[in-house]
Structure 1
Amino acid sequence: MRPARAHPLWLAFVLHRVSGLALALFLPLHFWVLSLALTQPERLNRFLSFTEQPIAKLAEFGLVFLLAVHMFGGLRLIALEWLPWSAPQKTLAAGAVSVAALISGAFFLQVV
């Protein structure tokens, strides 16, 4: 029998928690940048010109990936609570991460 931490659903649990933490850390920065539109528009313009850099585009890809992973992780939790669950849950969890990667990859390809 494999240890619980090697189970794919444990990895889905960890990914959901890490993505939630990363998004929670990102939100204050996001709100600060939004506040620049009201308080310091010239500083916002400088920041927006920085976002054209490839590293910023890569960071956007990461953000969209985290959002998609967190959303599908939440849907997985709802399914665990509301639906009868069977053996294929590993496949569903892996599918959720795959769809998250596809969504964020599609976004990345359109912004590059």
Structure 2
Amino acid sequence: MKRVNDFRARNHPSYWAFLVHRVSGLLLVIFLPIHFLALSLALKGDAALNGFISFTDTPLFKVGELGLVVLLTLHLVGGVRLLLIDFRPVRPPGLLKHWIYGGAAMGLAAGAAFVVTLNF
């Protein structure tokens, strides 16, 4: 019997949690080389690092930092949710949907807290 993919599973919150976790992980991987570049400038001296820091002190980079904070929070909560699913002896109904909604709320709260601390 041929299995037909009817895309109903893509409307389930667990699918969206998987997608957010996967995409946030990929975007964080893209961020890491830029972060290592900035760290390597510290080895070249104060002038190189200060030049990079002054370059990143723009509103565009502040928005990028906001996205980074939200991505890190969403990826963290998604990873904890997966650990709970894998290592709990009894799987709760709905594959911990409350963790999905709580993770989204934590991501938004972390982003809001970061925005409050910004000095434009």
Aligned with 2:96 (options 83, 86, 89): 89
**1:101 to partner: Cα distance:** 1.3
Which 5+ residue runs of structure 1 have no aligned equivalent? none
Across the aligned residues of Structure 1 and Structure 2, the Cα RMSD in angstroms comes to 1.8
Asked if the contact 2:85/2:95 (under 8 Å) is kept, the reply is no
- Specify which structure has the bigger relative contact order, considering alpha-carbon pairs within 8 angstroms and separated by 6 or more residues: 1
Q: Which moved more, 1:84-93 or 1:98-107?
A: 84-93
Matched, 1:98 2:97: no
Matched, 1:79 2:54: no
Matched, 1:31 2:27: no
Aligned with 1:48 (options 49, 53, 56): 53
Identity across the alignment (%):
41
Runs of 4+ in structure 1 off by over 3 angstroms are none
**1:92 to partner: Cα distance:** 2.3
Q: C-alpha separation between the residues in 2 aligned to 1:100 and 1:93?
A: 11
Structure-2-length-normalised TM-score: 0.84
Alignment size in residue pairs: 112
Q: Structure 1 or 2: larger helix share?
A: 1
TM-aligned CA distance change 1:88 to 1:12, over 3 Å = closer
Q: C-alpha separation between the residues in 2 aligned to 1:31 and 1:92?
A: 32
